[in-house]
Amino acid sequence: AQRVTQPEKLLSVFKGAPVELKCNYSYSGSPELFWYVQYSRQRLQLLLRHISRESIKGFTADLNKGETSFHLKKPFAQEEDSAMYYCAPNRSGFQKLVFGTGTRLLVSP
Amino acid sequence: DAGVIQSPRHEVTEMGQEVTLRCKPISGHNSLFWYRQTMMRGLELLIYFNNNVPIDDSGMPEDRFSAKMPNASFSTLKIQPSEPRDSAVYFCASSFSRGSGETQYFGPGTRLLVL
């Protein structure tokens, strides 16, 4: 069965500290992976996708097929990064995303 | 473009009443998704359409839930009869799909409270 796990419900860090939001998946084949973010009072929106290999707002995510992980990282957290983050694998060839339960990131000054 | 539009933004109803949620996808998008978000279960896909045709409704909880997409610019999610456990935020999202991996654009959500 397709499964995605975000083990941390809440991650609290101080401004300037490194951040890593964990995501592990269990998928057959080669999934495509996404991170979506929901800032307070805003819509859920795409943060990044592993295909594009972009760095968005300082965040990066590396697909580790051996560990079946797609952790989201940022070297220096900012207060405006406080939000809810969802990892979402997508089975290649299908449109359906399966969202993790999400991790709330709180960045304190 | 105003993005995905959902109405109403908030709905409070009594148990047993019919609830209809509405969604207007982004013009030109050919896929539409309905999600439900709760504290306990997170964000769950209920159903999605491609070119107005339902493709996967395995996430629809039970027969009380139904969804339609009569044309490319409108979809409804109906709950009849509603129950308190249906209280959640319901999101609609759309994308332009070429097979897989396309970005989904979300609406602001409808916050439903069933008393």
Mean pLDDT calculated for residue range A8-25: 96
- CA A34 centroid distance within chain: 7
Residues B24-78: tens digit of each pLDDT: 999 999 999 999 999 888 899 999 999 999 998 988 988 899 999 999 999 999 9
DSSP 8-state class, residue B86: G
Structure tokens belonging to residue B105? 């654009």
**Residue B100 pLDDT:** 64
Of A91, A95, A100, the CB nearest to B97: A95
Amino acid identity of residue A28, one-letter, is S
**Residue B110 pLDDT:** 97
In this structure, are residues B69 and B49 in contact, taking their beta carbons and an 8 Å threshold?
yes
User: Could A94 and B100 be called an inter-chain contact, meaning their C-beta atoms sit closer than 8 Å?
Assistant: yes
**Mean of all residue pLDDT scores within chain A:** 88
Percent of chain B with pLDDT over 90: 79
Task: Please provide the distance, in angstroms rounded to a whole number, between the alpha carbons at the two ends of chain A.
Answer: 41
Sheet holding B19-24, edge to edge: B5-7, B19-24, B74-79, B65-71
Mutation target vs A (from B43, B58, B95, B111; most A CBs, 10 A cutoff):
B43
